[in-house]
Amino acid sequence: MESEEPLLEENRECKSVLNTWGAFGRELNRVSNIAFPMIVVTLSQYMLRVVALMMLGHLGELELSSASIATSFTNVTGFSVIFGMACALETLCGQAYGAEQFIRVGTFTYGSIICLLLVCLPISVLWIYTDKLLILIGQDPLISAEAGKFSMWLIPSLFPYAILQSLVRYLQTQSLILPMLWSSLASLCFHLPLCWALILKLKLGNAGASLSICLSYVLNVILLGLYVKYSSVCKKTHASFSKDVFLTMREFFQYAIPSAVMVCLEWWSFEVVILLGGLLPNPELETSVLSVCLTITSLHYLVQYSIGAAASTRVSNELGAGKPGAARVAVLAVLVLSVSEFVIASTIIFFCRYILGYAFSNEMDVVNYVKDMTPFFCVSIIMDSLQAVLSGVARGCGWQHIGAYVNLGAYYIVGIPVALLLGFVLHFKGEGLWSGLVAGATVQSLLLALITCLTNWEKQATEARGRIFDGKIPTHDELI
């Protein structure tokens, strides 16, 4: 009998290890099923504005430059704000769905749509004065006037965009990704010929570009709205429009405001660095190369953001369900997926550094400068990837306020000052400016990683359940 006891202990350990690896494998499969379709969704929605910008470039330099400035201005002052605020639903709906409070998922979504539509009103007023604001900060009057027209025509697209972002989070938190994939692809396929017809065929210029973006967002909203209304899968989360919707608005804003600050502080830092590039010697070359770097890293960031969205969904669902161990496994799974992706991506980009610049320009100065910058934005890709996924974990836990403080410190106490020091004082120019962003992203990743490692997941699950059940802290038996 004595000889059998060690064997029994060994069998128990083996079963424990197998169960752990089995749980990890299942979680990795769940995360992948969310992340990979989300990449298509995110890229398709991003391409709507990029395609319009590319087609405007064929009309002339004025149309392209004005649309570029207007796109940057509207991203900073409008789309990033709406996008960031909508991320609050990842916490509220995700945890409510995990706790099987299905009606609250629909109620939170209604509240989000109303809140975001209200926020669109002051943003619209701001966009009306785009030309005056651009002239005020020293932009060319002719370009500013055209950019102002583009921004004004873009106002109608802000409202369907707000509804779309709410619907995306509503479906994402239920892991219903395929409907978004098909609707996003359908909208992009609709957008391409419409954009060509309005901009190049009918010569409507900026107005045509803005109108095609608006109609494409409207189509996407209609398709998702029809799916939500008639799909049997969504019936359990349908909610009637009642006073409960208005009661959730206060709670939504409590998470939406720090969520918007968290997103905007990061997005704005990149725009600041591009503007600083215009103050360097040979500003045309510096801003062109920095824009190339930003374009490449932004496209890659969308991939990692999609993995972060999977992290947010899985973590919020498991915390809402009162399963801290499962939430911990979800974090590990998304980190493994993220690291695998950014190692492959950064390696390919590094070995393609000699030809990468030709995708954007035939000027040898630009091509060679992009080659020299490639190691810097390969490091940037690694750091951005880590923080994108860890930010998803933060949203799933409801740490938006912590994320806002982290981003403030990382980019505005470390990142931009380092960029100014390296770029202007030590004369490293564009490489110095981009190194400042790398420093900011590194600090952001380290802080978020530290917070995640020190997390008490049992406490997070208890708080999530208490938040969903109207402030009632559940008992241990309820958590189980």
Q: 86-104: per-residue pLDDT in tens? A: 998 988 898 999 888 889 9
pTM of the model: 0.86
Chain segment 251-269, per-residue pLDDT in tens? 889 999 999 998 888 888 8
Asked, for residue 4, whether it belongs to a domain, the answer is no
Q: What confidence tens digit (pLDDT) does each residue in 372-381 have? A: 888 887 888 8
pLDDT attached to residue 125: 94
Q: Which of 99-108, 154-163, 174-183, 423-432 has the least mean pLDDT?
A: 423-432
The reply to whether 223 falls in a domain is yes
The answer as to whether 15 is a domain residue is no
pLDDT bracket for residue 270 (50, 70, 90): confident
**7 inside domain:** no
pLDDT greater than 60 at residue 412: yes
Quick one: pLDDT at residue 60?
A: 64
> Is pLDDT of 65 > 50?
yes
Q: Tell me: pLDDT of 2 over 50.
A: no
Q: Is 425 a domain residue?
A: yes
CA distance 405 to 230: 41
Residue 181 has pLDDT above 70, yes or no: yes
How much is the mean pLDDT over the chain? 84
Residue 5's pLDDT is 52
CB atoms within 10 A of CB 118: 11
Judge whether 275 lies within some domain: yes
Query: In percent, how much of the chain has pLDDT > 90?
Result: 32
Average pLDDT over residues 289-311: 84
Residue 271's domain comprises 23-479
Average pLDDT over residues 169-177: 92
- Let me know how long the chain is: 480
Q: Confidence band (pLDDT; 50, 70, 90) for 280?
A: confident
Q: Give the pLDDT confidence score for residue 1 in this predicted structure.
A: 45
Task: List, as one string, the DSSP characters of 308-356.
Answer: HHHHHHHHHHHHHTT-HHHHHHHHHHHHHHHHHHHHHHHHHHHHTHHHH
User: Which pLDDT score is estimated for 417?
Assistant: 93
The count of domains in the chain is: 1
Tens of pLDDT along 338-349? 999 999 999 998
Please say if the pLDDT value at position 308 is more than 70.
Answer: yes
The reported pLDDT for the residue numbered 184 is 94
| 67 or 449, which is more confident | 449
> Long-range contact list for 118-123, CB < 8 A, 24+ apart?
119/81, 119/82, 119/85, 119/162, 120/78, 120/82, 120/158, 120/159, 120/162, 123/77, 123/78, 123/81, 123/82, 123/158
Q: Once rounded to an integer, what is the mean pLDDT over residues 108-123?
A: 94
Which range is least confidently modeled, 170-174, 220-224, 318-322?
A: 318-322
Q: Between 159 and 468, whose confidence is greater? A: 159
Q: What pLDDT is stored for residue 58 in this prediction?
A: 65
Reduce the DSSP state of residue 280 to 3 states and report it.
coil
Residue 224 to residues 176, 200, 205, 221, Cα–Cα distance (Å): 11, 29, 29, 5
pLDDT over 50 at 472, yes or no: no
pLDDT at 22 over 50: yes
Q: What is the mean pLDDT of residues 146-169?
A: 91
pLDDT tens digits, one per residue of 430-469 = 888 888 988 999 999 999 999 999 989 899 888 888 877 7
pLDDT for 64:
66
* pLDDT given at position 470: 61
Residue 99's pLDDT is 87
What's the CA gap between 404 and 410, in Å, rounded?
10
Q: How confident is the model at residue 284 (pLDDT cuts 50, 70, 90)?
A: low
Q: 9 in a domain, yes or no?
A: no
Q: Residue written as tokens 């919020």?
A: 316
